[in-house]
Amino acid sequence: MTKVSETKPIKGHCPTCGDEKWADTVGHYNEYSSDIRDGIWVSIDHRILKCRGCDAIYHQTDRVFSEDMFYSQNPETGEEEYDYEHDVKHWPAPNKRPRPNWLERLPAVDTDLYKLLNDVYSALDIDLAVLAAIGVRTTFDRGSELLGIDSSLTFSEKLTQLVDKGFAGATERDALSVMTEAGNASAHRGWRPSSDQLDTMLQIIEAFVHRNFVLRTDVTELKNAVPAKPPRKPKNPST
Ligand SMILES: [Zn+2]
């Protein structure tokens, strides 16, 4: 282990503050292996980092492989130079999609709904696109069940009931239909959506969950907070 005082601060992706943040190395281990016959080697620096901004502790690996090099030309001397490529990864994995600020309100609504949606974000963070798409569909299932829609119905029937009961409009019905079809394709045919396609699916499920489980509560609270209109004074017939 390396003492903090012996190391210079380095930059890492803090799980709280974001990328390119200064951190101290509070633990270090170098894993090295080589093949003498072929002259190739791999070096992995494992670092436990402590963010200088928020004190968060996280793990960084810096992997260098002897055969992965990039070449450049020195602008002053014109000579060709080379350097090793560094494959830097962090754990916890940096968030690929920012969590909506209302996410932490969901446990009060339903822990399963919260866990399902949270798992979708976790799958996105580590590029598990197929599992994220399946998770979106399952989150929709749980959400519609909470709204009183019979879980044994087909997706099409669920969507019809959601519209009939006022939980979704006609336009949203189309969006939810495309989203569930996409989730089905991943679940049954292993379809892997692109990041843009996943982004669209996330926008649809976030809008559905937010409107039905967060905004409704806010609207009710707002309604109760607005002072009632004072009763109108009767008009004086003499004026
Ligand atoms: Zn931080």
CA–CA dist 19, 164 (Å, integer): 46
pLDDT of residue 233: 77
Q: What integer pLDDT is reported at residue 3 of this predicted model?
A: 47
Q: At what angle do helices 129-146 and 170-189 cross, to 10 degrees?
A: 130
13 alpha carbon – ligand 1 mean position (Å) = 8
One digit per residue, the tens of pLDDT, for the chain of length 239 reads 444 445 789 999 998 888 999 999 999 999 999 998 988 999 999 999 999 999 999 999 999 999 998 888 888 888 888 889 999 999 988 888 889 999 999 999 999 999 999 999 999 988 899 999 999 999 999 999 999 999 899 988 999 999 999 999 988 999 999 999 999 999 999 999 999 999 999 999 999 999 999 998 888 888 888 888 888 877 766 55
The alpha carbon of 129 and the centre of ligand 1 are apart by a number of angstroms equal to 27
Cα of 58 vs centre of ligand 1, distance in Å, is: 9
Numbered ranges of CATH 1.20.120 in the chain: 103-224
How many angstroms separate the alpha carbon of residue 164 from the centre of ligand 1? 47
Q: Ligand 1 centroid vs 60 CA: distance in angstroms?
A: 14
Distance 196 CA to ligand 1 centre (A): 28
Give the Å distance between the CA of 223 and the centre of ligand 1: 39
Q: How far apart are CA 93 and CA 13, in angstroms?
A: 9
Alpha helices in 61-110 (DSSP H): 106-109
Say if CB 103 and CB 127 are below 8 A apart.
no
Q: How far is CA 206 from CA 29, 101, 117, 176, 213, in A?
A: 41, 11, 9, 11, 10
| pLDDT recorded at residue 2 | 44
Ligand 1 midpoint to CA 14 (Å): 5
Q: Is the peptide bond before 107 cis (omega within 30 degrees of 0)?
A: no
pTM of the model: 0.69
Distance 20 CA to ligand 1 centre (A): 10
Q: For domain 103-224, is the CATH number 1.10.3470? A: no
pLDDT for the residue 6: 54
Alpha helices by DSSP H, 77-169: 106-109, 111-125, 129-146, 155-164
